[in-house]
């Protein structure tokens, strides 16, 4: 059974297992200003606890209400089963425009593992196509550097997807790093993927119409600074090195110390 109430903000607690873990402070402050001026337009969805309420859907709105300093908040109380709570949270989060693709993927994964939902049920529940749901789940198989770029907004799914077809993992990660650093578009990364897979070396007569359309992009060059000498180098000529922060700091210090003794050397 559901009902609406006005309750103290202090009586509402955050979800025990929120689907969203990272929230951009700037957007929270903007929402808080809106709530302070116009009030909360969409009530929080909560369940009853012995000493208050737990938010099922509306964690971000709860934080913004606290920032705005409003004393009370409108809530929709739903004392349903845990399964329904998770479903409500999932659907609301997947309808948000400010979720990152990785957050969407993790929400969908939760619906499958926690709720036992099928692809079709999830697609129907959040008004998305089954292909979209599958494509989001595929993101969770991507390398960590790609997921981090999506979460921080440094790249897009469309830009990085072509590079996931590169079979050699070392070459794939090198191209991913180049694409993320350079802000490469999907058209450019498709060209890079073609080159890596050997398609760009085929003659136009043996390539499909889609591949022929991408052929002029094969000459796109991206330049990035070398981390040691700081000279601009062609991105495909740079090596990707995985190094921890302490070792990187040691390397930086060594370069700085060696700089005066090596003609032309530049500090990092």
Full set of structural domains in the chain with CATH: 1-79 (3.90.1530.10), 81-141 (1.10.10.2830), 153-220 (no CATH), 222-268 (no CATH)
The answer to pTM > 0.75 is no
Calpha distance 16→96 (Å, rounded): 20
The whole-number pLDDT of residue 65 equals 93
Calpha distance 98→27 (Å, rounded): 9
217-234: per-residue pLDDT in tens?
A: 444 555 666 766 767 776
Calpha distance 143→33 (Å, rounded): 38
Calpha distance 163→200 (Å, rounded): 14
Q: Determine whether 203 is exposed, middle or buried from the number of CB atoms within 10 Å of its CB (0-12, 13-18, 19+).
A: exposed
The whole-number pLDDT of residue 141 equals 92
Calpha distance 41→39 (Å, rounded): 6
The whole-number pLDDT of residue 242 equals 64
91-139: per-residue pLDDT in tens?
A: 666 666 567 888 888 878 877 776 677 888 888 877 789 999 999 999 9
């Amino acid at each position: 059974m559901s009902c609406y109430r006005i309750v103290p903000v202090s009586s509402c607690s955050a979800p025990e297992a929120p689907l969203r873990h990272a929230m951009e402070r700037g957007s929270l402050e903007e929402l808080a200003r809106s709530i302070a001026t116009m009030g909360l337009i969409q009530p929080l969805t909560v369940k009853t606890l012995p000493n208050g309420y737990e938010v099922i859907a509306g964690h971000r709105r709860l934080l913004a209400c606290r920032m705005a300093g409003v004393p009370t908040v409108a809530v929709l109380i739903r004392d349903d089963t845990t399964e329904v709570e998770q479903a409500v949270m999932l659907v609301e989060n997947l309808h948000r425009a400010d979720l990152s693709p990785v957050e969407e993927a993790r929400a969908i994964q939760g619906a499958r593992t926690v709720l036992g939902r099928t692809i079709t049920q999830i697609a129907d529940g959040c008004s998305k196509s089954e292909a979209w749901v599958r494509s989001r789940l595929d993101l969770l198989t991507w390398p960590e550097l790609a997921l981090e770029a999506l979460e921080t907004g440094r790249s897009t799914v469309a830009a990085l997807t072509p590079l996931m077809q590169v079979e050699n993992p070392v070459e794939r990660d090198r191209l991913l790093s180049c694409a993320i650093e350079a802000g490469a578009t999907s058209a450019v990364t498709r060209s890079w993927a073609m080159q890596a897979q050997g398609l760009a070396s085929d003659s136009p007569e043996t390539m499909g119409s889609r591949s022929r359309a991408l052929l002029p992009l094969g000459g796109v060059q991206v330049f990035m600074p070398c981390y040691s000498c700081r000279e601009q180098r062609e991105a495909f000529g740079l090596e990707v090195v995985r190094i921890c922060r302490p070792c990187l700091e040691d390397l930086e210090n060594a370069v700085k110390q060696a700089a005066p003794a090596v003609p032309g050397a530049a500090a990092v």
